[in-house]
């Protein structure tokens, strides 16, 4: 391998007769004057001058090449391999042409590849095309993981990619981008597994109900199997967790209602006026409801008449109360806005948000667990706004208290993770969850609160937030607008951007501010599987099979069945199992079993006979 052609301080061409190059491979250029220079292959080509691409002339056909080989001359051996190599650090002078080039040893690239220990970092996968350098790698970096390639689990051959989570303190927040099927959700899963290994308190917003870590895959040898059972908990909004109404501040309540559907100024006013400190859901709800009912009556006279006409004390007291509310609030709270608040509160209540509280989440975080919050996207938007606000401010007041030397209960630093992040922090319009995510993206670092945001549409994600994502995992992306966004927001090069639409599932460019360059990696095989991995078409097939089998079990001991005897058989089945069939349906189902090979049908002159096989 030698440096060939015209060289610059940044880039050289390397040619070889023996060895083909791979993209993203590292090479050391032995410059006689400047010493060893390390570079990365950014483009690899091969060329054979005897087999040129010629559109209008000689084109050696394979039979001739084969013939030449037969008489001893292998044209293919004249292929030369050419790599465009970009130096990692600009050289003071252009690289000397003709310099030798060699494959680096592990220790020479160690600092470039690995910047934290296995114990302290997230072991997310391997750095692609580093197998040759990995040969003399330290034992501690070997056999850490498996990769999944071509439908098989493979042992680790390359240098591991270890994400230095401590660097988040300086370069906070992670973005995970990639189209559907690119390996994004699966990459997120691997990342969460690693976070559980390190017992990092984490909240996962899971709109897809897929972040369950209880099913461990089979490929891991015994002893390497990891049980995440006690490291995570799935909590459903409205069932396991919710909002304790009594704890709500007026701002919290407004955020919740706003997340449900946007509030007008008048409605905000209604909440400010009608919501009292220490209100319970019932007290608040009743207040609004009674005011609305009073307003429906229309005038103080009619309410007074209602009081007079009341037949029970209870009723009278009720109307008395309504009258008070009417007198106090009718002027400041227009009926339509009161009604609007009423609907929104009611809707949240029906979704069960007020059923429970977030104590379980707080406890889990305090124990360093991964708390998966499940619910549909809308309810998660509502709940996460409250939840994250709440937890963030808990952490914040703890940290602030440290400075003030005041005593506030400890609350740990934590990480907020969400898939489909563009739903929680959309570009272009306001949304309550966006405000808190934005605040964390800008200030969270100081308080030890970090974001991991995954989305298939980085273009739709709020720009302020995108700009704060210091590490970006970029999986296969096909949409031009998203590629443009990625190019703008990362240090990914033109060549790498061009490769984005063609990346294999699970291959990823990792653009880390901490390293100042992009790494091409492959995410490791996950230790657990998502509950949604069954193919829906397999599911259909399985279901059909199940149905057939069920029917077969019912008729099995009635075989053989004669075609003129259906009526009796059907009666028998009805008395035994309670299932009723019409004659036509019964025959059709029998024929179906014949077709599927469960039973056989014999034709006689009078009727068909269905027999055991």
**Of the two residues 60 and 220, which places its CB atom closer to other proteins in the complex?**
60
| Residue 454, Ramachandran bin (φ over 0: left; ψ between -120 and 50: alpha; else beta) | beta
Q: Which is nearer to other proteins, 63 or 311 (CB)?
A: 63
Q: Of the ranges 55-63, 272-280, 382-390, 495-503, which one interacts with other proteins (CB under 8 A)?
A: 55-63
Q: Would you give the binding string for other proteins spanning residues 336-375, x where CB under 8 A is met?
A: ----------------------------------------
With contact defined as beta carbons under 8 Å apart, do 260 and 382 qualify? Answer: yes
Q: CB-wise, 62 or 533, nearer to other proteins?
A: 62
Q: What is the size of the binding site for other proteins (CB under 8 A)?
A: 20
In angstroms, the CA 412 to CA 394 distance is 9
Q: Which is nearer to other proteins, 60 or 435 (CB)?
A: 60
Minimum CB distance to other proteins, residue 68 (Å): 6
Say if residues 339 and 292 touch (Cβ distance below 8 Å). yes
We find the least distance from the C-beta atom of residue 51 to other proteins, in angstroms, to be 10
Minimum CB separation of residue 71 from other proteins in Å reads 5
Instruction: Rank residues 61 and 218 by Cβ distance to other proteins and give the closer one.
Output: 61
Sign of CA dihedral 13, 18, 24, 26: negative
Please report, in angstroms and rounded to a whole number, the separation of the first and last CA atoms in the chain: 70
Out of 6, 53, 57, 546, name the contact with other proteins by CB under 8 A. 57
**Binder of other proteins out of 19, 59, 247, 582 (CB under 8 A):** 59
**Nearer to other proteins by C-beta: 58 or 494?**
58
Return the range that interacts with other proteins (CB under 8 A); candidates 32-40, 56-64, 95-103, 254-262: 56-64
Let me know: does 453 contact 421? Beta carbons within 8 Å. Answer: yes
Question: How much is the CA Rg of the chain, to the nearest whole Å?
Answer: 34
Residue 6 engages other proteins in binding (rule: CB under 8 A): no
Within 277-373, where are the H helices?
Answer: 281-297, 300-309, 313-329, 335-350, 359-366
368 vs 573: CA distance, rounded Å: 57
> Between 60 and 79, how does the x/- string for binding to other proteins read (CB under 8 A)?
xx-xxxxxx-xxxxxx-x--
The piece of 32-40, 57-65, 90-98, 302-310 that touches other proteins (CB under 8 A) is: 57-65
> CB of residue 72 vs other proteins: minimum separation in angstroms?
4
Burial class (CB in 10 A: 0-12, 13-18, 19+), 380: buried
Distance in Å, CB of 49 to other proteins, minimum:
7
Out of 6, 18, 58, 222, which residue is the one contacting other proteins (CB under 8 A)?
A: 58
> Which residue's CB is nearer to other proteins, number 62 or number 404?
62
Q: How far is CA 54 from the centre of its chain?
A: 48
**What token pair was written down for 110?**
């160690």
Smallest gap from residue 15 Cβ to other proteins (A):
17
Of residues 189, 194, 236, the one with CA closest to residue 213 = 189
- E strand or H helix that includes residue 259: helix 250-260
List helix spans (H) across 456-582: 463-468, 480-489, 494-499, 536-556, 566-577
The contact pattern for other proteins, residues 35-54, with x = CB under 8 A and - = no contact, is --------------xx----
Query: Residue 397, exposed/middle/buried by CB under 10 A (0-12, 13-18, 19+)?
Result: middle
Nearer to other proteins, 61 or 557 (CB): 61
Q: Give the count of beta carbons closer than 10 Å to the beta carbon of residue 264.
A: 12
Applying CB under 8 A, which residues contact other proteins?
Answer: 49-50, 57-61, 63-68, 70-75, 77
């Amino acid at each position: 391998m030698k440096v060939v052609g015209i060289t610059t301080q940044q880039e050289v061409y390397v040619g070889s007769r023996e060895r083909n190059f791979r993209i993203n491979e590292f090479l050391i250029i032995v410059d006689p004057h400047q010493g060893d220079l390390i570079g990365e292959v950014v483009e690899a080509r091969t060329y054979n001058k005897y087999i040129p691409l010629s559109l209008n002339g000689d084109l050696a056909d394979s039979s001739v090449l084969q013939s030449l080989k037969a008489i001893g001359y292998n044209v293919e051996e004249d292929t030369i391999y050419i790599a465009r190599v970009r130096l990692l650090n600009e050289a003071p002078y252009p690289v000397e042409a003709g310099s030798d080039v060699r494959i680096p040893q592990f220790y020479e690239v160690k600092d470039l590849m690995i910047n934290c220990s296995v114990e302290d970092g997230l072991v997310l996968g391997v750095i692609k095309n580093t197998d040759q350098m990995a040969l003399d790698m330290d034992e501690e970096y070997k056999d850490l993981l498996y990769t999944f390639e071509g439908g098989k689990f493979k042992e680790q051959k390359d240098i591991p990619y270890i994400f230095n989570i401590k660097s988040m303190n300086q370069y906070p927040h992670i973005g995970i981008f990639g189209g559907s099927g690119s390996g994004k959700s699966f990459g997120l899963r691997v990342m969460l597994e690693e976070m559980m290994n390190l017992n990092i308190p984490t909240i996962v917003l899971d709109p897809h109900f897929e972040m369950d870590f209880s099913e461990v895959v089979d490929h891991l040898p015994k002893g390497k199997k990891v049980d995440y059972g006690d490291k995570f908990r799935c909590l459903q909004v409205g069932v396991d967790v919710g909002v304790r109404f009594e704890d709500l501040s007026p701002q919290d309540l407004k955020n919740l209602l706003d997340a449900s559907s946007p509030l007008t100024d008048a409605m905000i006013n209604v909440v400010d006026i009608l919501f009292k400190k220490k209100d319970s859901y019932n007290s608040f709800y009743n207040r609004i409801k009674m005011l609305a009912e009073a307003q429906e009556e229309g005038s103080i006279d009619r309410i007074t008449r209602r009081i007079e006409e009341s037949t029970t004390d209870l009723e009278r007291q009720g109307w008395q109360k309504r009258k008070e509310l009417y007198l106090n609030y009718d002027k400041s709270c227009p009926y339509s806005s009161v009604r609007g608040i009423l609907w929104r509160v009611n809707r949240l209540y029906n979704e069960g948000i007020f059923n429970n509280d977030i104590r379980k989440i707080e406890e889990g975080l305090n124990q360093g667990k991964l708390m998966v919050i499940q619910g549909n996207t809308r309810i998660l938007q509502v709940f996460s706004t409250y939840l994250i606000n709440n937890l963030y401010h808990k952490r914040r007041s703890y940290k602030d208290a440290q400075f003030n030397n005041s005593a506030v209960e400890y609350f740990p630093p934590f990480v907020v993770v969400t898939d489909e992040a563009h739903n929680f922090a959309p570009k272009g319009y306001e949304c309550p969850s966006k405000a808190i995510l934005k605040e964390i993206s800008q200030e969270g670092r100081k308080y030890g609160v970090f974001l991991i945001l995954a989305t298939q549409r980085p273009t739709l994600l709020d720009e302020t937030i995108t700009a704060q994502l210091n590490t970006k995992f970029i999986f296969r992306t096909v949409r031009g607008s998203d590629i443009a966004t990625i190019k703008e927001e990362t240090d990914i090069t033109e060549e790498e951007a061009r490769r984005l639409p063609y990346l294999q599932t699970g291959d990823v460019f990792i653009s880390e501010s901490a390293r100042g360059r992009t790494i091409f990696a492959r995410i490791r095989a996950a230790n657990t599987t998502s509950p949604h991995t069954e193919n829906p078409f397999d599911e259909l097939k399985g279901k059909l099979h199940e149905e057939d089998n069920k029917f077969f079990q019912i008729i099995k001991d009635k075989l053989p069945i004669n075609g003129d005897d259906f009526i009796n058989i059907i009666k028998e089945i009805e008395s035994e199992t309670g299932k009723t069939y019409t004659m036509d349906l019964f025959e059709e189902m029998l024929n179906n079993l014949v077709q599927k090979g469960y039973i056989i049908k014999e034709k006689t002159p009078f009727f068909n006979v269905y027999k055991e096989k």
